[in-house]
Amino acid sequence: MQGLPLLNNWQNFYMIMGTAAATLTGLMFVATTLLAGLDTHTETANAGISAYNTPTVVQFCAVLLLAGILSAPWQTFSTISLLLNLLGVSMVIYLIIVLRRMWRMPHYQSTLEDWLWYIALPLIASILLIAAAMMLQNNSNPSLALYLIGSAMLLLLIVGIRNAWDNVTFLALKRSHTHPENKAKEKRRSGSKNSENRAPQ
């Protein structure tokens, strides 16, 4: 019963996090439509979605799931601890899969910035969830555990926002380069350069 007052104190925070995560998840579906019309191989596009777009959606969904779990009327912390452990371990396993996908990404070499935002920071959030789950299971410091969970949710949300912006700007720039009008301009420019080179001196 001691957990109920503590959880009630965080309800506004969970509502804000859940609403933001749900909204951003919907925007990611819209942003993915930027892939339409891109002049790229299907294999490369699928690999990019699996390595960069999908993990961002998963992070938003994790925040939404956490907000839903912690907003439920639990009587004890034991069930919350079990669910947090399952979610934290599942996220670590998924990050290993994402790491392999990024490593095998065709026609693109992931940078240090990519490894930091797509692997390292989400891994820290997962570790925070697992640590909070252990603290709740032992009932050692529930108040601190809830702060760890809140930090993990905020970290996942910030990382997701940054990664969503990174994906959208990358796709928008790539789309602008593959637009038919831009292609025609490039052909005209290359044609004029070739005619200048062929002109008699």
Q: Domain map of the chain by residue range?
A: 3-175
Q: To which residue do tokens 């970290």 refer?
A: 155
Per-residue pLDDT at 16: 97
Residue 103: band (very low, low, confident or very high) from pLDDT cuts 50, 70, 90? very high
Give per-residue pLDDT as tens, 24-41.
999 888 877 766 656 566
What is the pTM assigned to this prediction? 0.82
CA–CA distance, 169 with 10 (Å, rounded to integer): 34
pLDDT tens digits for range 64-81: 999 999 999 888 899 999
What letters, b where the CB count within 10 A reaches 16 and e where it falls short, cover 97-109? ebbebbeebeeee
Name the range with the highest mean pLDDT among 26-35, 93-102, 176-185.
93-102
pLDDT of residue 66: 98
What is the band of 199 on the pLDDT scale with cuts at 50, 70, 90?
very low
Mean pLDDT in residue range 172-195: 55
Provide the residue type at 12 as one letter: N
Least confident of 26-30, 116-120, 145-149, 193-197: 193-197
